[in-house]
Amino acid sequence: MAVSDSDRLFLDAADELAARGLYSAPPNPKVGCLLVRQGVVLGRGWHEHTGGPHAEIVALDDAGGIDRLAGATCYVSLEPCAHHGRTPPCTEALIKAKVARVVAAATDPNPLVSGAGFEMLRQAGITVDVVELPAARDLNPGYFKQMEHDLPWVRLKVAGSLDGRAAMASGESQWITSEAARADVQHFRARSSAVVTGIGTVLADDPALTVRITKDARQPLRVVLDSTLRTPANARILGEPGQALLVTTRAAVTRDVPAEVLVLEGRRVPLDGLLSALVARDCNEVLVEAGPELTGAFLTAGLWDELILYQAPKLLGASARGFAGFRIDALADAVDGRIVETLQVGEDLRIRVLRA
């Protein structure tokens, strides 16, 4: 069936609803749904948290139940699920509700669904139109990366100066950027399943790495890469609400620490092994908030997807440490990215870069 301008508007609205689950839905995808008949919105829904009802079921309830929806169109930001997971398949509910048409903004990359949801709807005589909206995918980078590559989406965050410095030679780095920039980081933390740092940062700054946007915010897993287990037992990262994980190697001294410890093979914590371990725990969107050494290691290993650089209008000079602590001799070896967004945040600039 031809897709009209109003179809696109309703689909955009479903995607906006999906974004309401940004901080609560992970590791599940953020999904929104709108049920419409003759231009009138009958029900709206979004997926709020893992284990909770899917967006389509919330919208069906919002419309007053399946008896009131015959002939309606369902606009949904991701293909309705066709399998019995934590909840029954949404396709069954839509078929029972006798909707006439489903318009979706993305095919679900989950191999248990991928096209099967659409097929089940078509088999039941429902018209299905798929309008691939980049925004629907952009809202769920971690879910798509996990399903398509068995890896998490890795977002590196750095606060630096105009000349790209992230710490003074003494280790001092608090604070290079403004309070507004630091508040902005909270949003990236809140949408992540895990926040990763290095032992260098733990020893220098003793950060909490918690989400503080609301009192009862979901806390991502806090992860420290610490090859010889030097994290102090009283480090803030271990004592805050939520879970902490120390990732170490066989070189670590055995000692009691008030956190879960994961031992990986290698002289240092292997970053590929770390990412596999995180994705196995359903951590599909990972924020790295580390110093130059670990940030540089992710960049040179090509194990990153996105870089968020907050740049303060300050120059810290040549003795300060650059945020990417690796050395190369030729321009040809540069780590390349492409700028997809720039935004002024307080006095600072936020630059969003995707891996080229």
Tokens of 172: 């001092």
**Min dist. Cβ of residue 202 to ligand NAP (A):** 7
Q: Which of 26, 43, 142, 325 binds ligand NAP (CB under 6 A)?
A: 325
Q: Which of 123, 228, 342, 344 binds ligand NAP (CB under 6 A)?
A: 228
**One-letter identity of residue 278:** L
Interaction between residue 324 and ligand NAP (CB under 6 A): no
Count of residues interacting with ligand NAP (CB under 6 A): 30
Q: How far apart are CA 345 and CA 189, in angstroms?
A: 16
Interaction between residue 173 and ligand NAP (CB under 6 A): yes
Interaction between residue 322 and ligand NAP (CB under 6 A): no
Interaction between residue 269 and ligand NAP (CB under 6 A): yes
Binding mask 183-222 for ligand NAP (x = CB under 6 A): --------------xxxxx--xx-----------------
Range list of H helices, 116-157: 116-123, 134-138, 141-149
Interaction between residue 294 and ligand NAP (CB under 6 A): yes
Interaction between residue 176 and ligand NAP (CB under 6 A): yes
Interface segment toward ligand NAP; rule CB under 6 A; list 20-28, 90-98, 124-132, 167-175 = 167-175
Report the DSSP beta bridge partners of residue 157: 308
Q: Of 110 and 201, which has the nearer Cβ to ligand NAP?
A: 201
Contacts of 286 (CB under 8 A, 6+ apart): 142, 152, 153, 154, 155, 192, 193, 194, 195, 196, 275, 278
Closest among 134, 82, 126 to 106, alpha carbons compared:
134
336 secondary structure, DSSP code: P
Closest among 35, 56, 30, 37 to 120, alpha carbons compared:
56
Angle of CA points 140, 145, 148, to nearest 5°? 120
CB 230 within 8 A of CB 247: no
Of the candidates 56, 79, 285, 289, the residue annotated as catalytic is 56
Nearest position to ligand NAP, beta carbon = 291
Residues known to be catalytic: 56
Residues near ligand NAP (CB under 6 A): 158-160, 166-167, 171, 173, 176, 197-201, 204-205, 225-228, 268-269, 271, 289-294, 297, 325
